[in-house]
Amino acid sequence: MKKFKIVWLLILVGMLAASLSAQSLLKRTTVKTDKFDFAMGGTVAIMGAPMGSIRVTGSNSAEIEITATIELQAASEADLARLEQVTGFLTDETLGRTGIISFGTHNKLGDKKLWKKFPKTLLGLPFRIDYVVTVPHFCDLEIDGGKGDLFISGVDGSVQVHFLETHADIEAGYAATQIIVGSGSVDVVLGPKGWRGRAANIQVANGDMNVRLPSNLAAEIDATILRSGSIENTFPDLKPRNRKVPFTDKSIIAKAGVGGPSLLFTVGDGKLKIERFTL
């Protein structure tokens, strides 16, 4: 028993030391920006950091504007300065496509000289990059993120999103839409400026999804809860595609209007709400 108490005391001391160490970390916030021409109709691909939000808005300007707010944590000012050199974003610009790529201790991109003899003690320290990106209205989006909020508005092109954990607020325009989220919540509006009939596939493994559809919708809808949770449908005039397969709180196989493109809404564990918005 005495030996057990000693071991337990050592564990508590270690936990306390780790907690105090985390609390004593210094923080530094920097802002990095970029702005350049970008023709409408191209693709903008954003690779976020493991931690950080991404906010994308469309504009009438034929250019991309990036503001990245970077928060670093370390035990000393010298360590913060070292981390600041290897944390940020770079752009990969080709004809019709621009990539915005986060780099830091998670992927060791950027200047290779800075990574030579880089202290291993700095590799696991927490950091985040929060993006605000303005793009042309007419462009396609590809976004990959870790943990952080996501906002998309005013973009009239295809949208592809992969996020590990997020609270997402998305306006999807006229083109194909694919959103895959590990956990969190997704609030999505399809066709905020009018419906032009494109396919959509939205999935949340663990969390809630709220889908708002235009009143002039013509589509085929498959809404599914895979495990636990339920569907709440307040969109009027949805009809079963097969009259022998009624709606349940786990599955809706429906047609809106005269039918059309496929809209797939899938939740693993959580709630799925389908409702109408008025233009």
User: Tens digits of per-residue pLDDT, 230-279?
Assistant: 999 999 889 999 999 999 999 999 999 888 899 999 999 999 999 998 76
The stretch 204-227 carries a mean pLDDT of 95
- Return the pLDDT at 6: 44
d(CA 279, CA 215): 8
Coil/strand/helix, residue 124: coil
Residue 91 has pLDDT above 80, yes or no: yes
Instruction: Give the global pTM.
Output: 0.89
- Return the pLDDT at 17: 42
Measured CA to CA in angstroms, residue 238 lies from 101, 109, 110, 130, 248 at distances of 42, 50, 52, 40, 13
- Return the pLDDT at 151: 98
d(CA 106, CA 124): 8
